[in-house]
Amino acid sequence: MSKKTLATVWLGGCSGCHMSLLDVDERILEIARLADIVKSPVVDGKAFPACDIALVEGAVCNDEHEHEIQVIRQKAKLLVSFGDCAVTANVPTLRMRFSKDQCLRRSYVEAESNSRGHIPKDPDVPKLIDRVAPLHEHVKVDYFLPGCPPSADLIFFVLMELLQDRVPVLDLGGMAKYG
C-alpha cells in the first residue's frame, strides 16, 4: 500500500489538539509508516499542499481562516474536524460576548503581555469576522473528532483507520460520520 499524505493545521484553536496528537508518543512511527506528513506545525510551508487527509483544529474566527478553510477543502480528499473548537466552535465563541473593538482593545492595548498601546491598522492583521463558526458551516466536513482535546488514543485510532482506507467505527459519543 502506498503512503498517504497527511496535513495538520490549526485555525482558531489553542493548539491543545495538536499537543494531544503528539501524545501518541512512539506510535507516531506507526503513523509515519503509512503517511507522509506534508504539513504540520513542525513542517512549515506557506502554501497548503494537496493531501489525502487534513486534520483541522480550531474554529473559523477571521477572514484569513475563511480563506484557509476553503483552500484546505479544495486540496484535501478527506477533511477531519479535529477537536471541539472545530466541531462546535467551543472556546473561540467566548469572544462573541464582546464587540470586536472590545476584543482588539483588550488584546492590543490593555493586555500587559502584548500591549502595543494601539490597535494596529496593519493590513496583515487578519480581520475578526462577526460570528465564530465551526468548520462545517463553511465547508463540507468528512469526519468529526470531538473532545477538548480528543484523546491521543482516539486520534491514533482514527488516523490509522483512515490511512488504511477503513471507516473508523466507534461507540456512540466517540465519533460520527458526517453524511
Question: Would you tell me which residues interact with ligand SF4 (CB under 6 A)?
Answer: 13-14, 16-17, 57-58, 83-85, 90-91, 148-149
In the complex with ligand SF4, the residue whose CB is nearer, 50 or 94, is 94
Query: What DSSP letter does each residue of the chain carry, written as one string?
Result: -PPEEEEEEESBS-SHHHHHHHTTGGGHHHHHHHEEEEEBTTB--SSPPPEEEEEEESBEEEHHHHHHHHHHHHHEEEEEEESHHHHH-TGGGGGGGS-HHHHHHIIIII-TTT--SS----TTSPPEEEEEE-GGGTS--SEEE-SSSPPHHHHHHHHHHHHTT------TTT--B--
In the complex with ligand SF4, the residue whose CB is nearer, 4 or 92, is 92
In the complex with ligand SF4, the residue whose CB is nearer, 76 or 149, is 149
Shortest Å, Cβ 21 to ligand SF4? 10
Joined grid coordinates for residue 98: 464582546
Task: Tell me the residue number closest to ligand SF4, measured at CB.
Answer: 16
Q: Using only C-alpha atoms, what is the Rg of the chain?
A: 17
In the complex with ligand SF4, the residue whose CB is nearer, 4 or 12, is 12
Shortest Å, Cβ 116 to ligand SF4? 25
Shortest Å, Cβ 82 to ligand SF4? 8
In the complex with ligand SF4, the residue whose CB is nearer, 52 or 57, is 57
Shortest Å, Cβ 98 to ligand SF4? 18
Shortest Å, Cβ 132 to ligand SF4? 12
